[in-house]
Amino acid sequence: MSDTDRTQPLDALAAAPFDAGDVELTERRCLHQGFFRLDELHLRHRLFEGGWSAPMVREVHHRHDAVGVLLYDVERDAVALVEQFRPGALADPDSPWKLEIVAGLVEHGESLAEVARREAEEEAGCALGELIELHTYYPSPGACDERVTLFCGLIDSHGLGGIHGLDEEHEDIRVHVLSFARAWELLMAGRLDNAMCLIAFHWLAAERASLRARR
């Protein structure tokens, strides 16, 4: 435990000391507008020790919020993962094809649960039963405004597999059904190397026994 942890009461961290009103935004300039948007922000913000920071310039990548769904078959103790090409991993020393949980962007007017069910059908040909909400988090708040909400979706994995995805979105997605034990081995070996997988699988490792006890 650090000295800071010892001196601060636990409830001191329950709410942030500042909010958006403690940031002075003087200019927002769009640098690029494509499928995503990149803005240049000119701003200053309040300091913990009092006063204001010097003016600064920051770039922020604007994305739709996203939903991820770990597909879990309680009866078979199995998960369904999707494999696809990821341009952001083009320089990966092993491969830009990644094993992931089902995921997609939130479109205007959609609820998070609707996105989860839509993406499970589009990416894995899978109908979801119960949906359990896990966490909502910022993957990279220093540079991106995207928020991700994770679910565990309970499924019947019998017959799942094959190639899925939408042609108009250039998706070429292969579905794999694996035992939890095998998927965990892959995670420990570094094959499941994205934040959604890591967070969702560590949640499942903690909750798996209670889920299976509900059968």
**Which residues are known to be catalytic?**
169
- Is 104 within 8 Å of 119 (Cβ atoms)? yes
- Collapsing DSSP states into helix, strand and coil, what is residue 42? strand
Pairing type for strands 173-179 and 97-100 reads unpaired
Count of CB atoms situated within 10 Å of the CB of 88 = 9
Percentages helix, strand, coil for the chain (3-state, rounded to 5) are 25, 35, 35
Tell which residue, 155, 189, 162, has the closest CA to residue 176: 162
